[in-house]
Structure 1
Amino acid sequence: MIVNGKPKNHSGQGHFWGNLLMTVVCFLIFAGCVYAMGWWSLEDVWIPGGIAMVLAVLAYLIPQQLLGRSDSVDHEAIHVEDPNAHHASH
């Protein structure tokens, strides 16, 4: 994340228990997807396939989109003027 024009430490730094909890939750969702695929057969395709598809999408969507990204920009904080900055005029 960039704040006041400078890169900030990793956004997950200092949040060990929250990071561990979300890792376990996403891993369990993915394990549920793999388990649902074990019930897939030629006679029974739609229910296990649908469950596996939903769980697979959730297992990748939650960390990628819902938890945020560490390289995102705080648009409000990036435009704050630093009183110590010296602007060179061209």
Structure 2
Amino acid sequence: MSKEATSAPIERENHLGTSIILFVIMMVLFLGAIFSLTFLTLDNVWPMAVCLILFALAFWIPQTVLGRSDSAGES
């Protein structure tokens, strides 16, 4: 093992406050998706469309927009 790999400090990507705010925003999107299902009927299918969009955003935003897409070459 190289000396750099064992003695390198752990780097934070963002602060705790930023992580908490992002978590709350994504949880609101997720819970909004679940809440939209309360309005779902056979006559009105728009709540399901809203649910799918909010659910997809709640998972897509953290994984792609907020994720580290440039870390593929790191080991």
Query: Which bin holds the TM-score, normalised by the shorter protein?
Result: 0.7 to 0.9
Runs of 4+ in 1 over 6 A off after TM superposition: none
Structure label with greater radius of gyration: 1
Distance 2:32 2:51 in 1: 8
- Alpha-carbon distance in structure 2 between the residues aligned to 1:8 and 1:56: 36
How far apart are residue 9 of structure 1 and its match? 2.7
- Superposition CA RMSD, Å: 2.8
- TM normalised by structure 2 equals 0.74
Q: Which has the higher contact order (CA 8 A, sep 6+)?
A: 1
Calculate percent identity across the aligned residue pairs.
Answer: 28
Number of matched pairs? 69
In structure 2, the gaps of 5 or more residues are: none
Paired letter, 1:66: V
Question: More strand per residue: 1 or 2?
Answer: 1
- Larger helix proportion, structure 1 or 2? 2
1:17 deviation in Å? 0.4
**Gaps (5+ residues) in structure 1?**
79-90
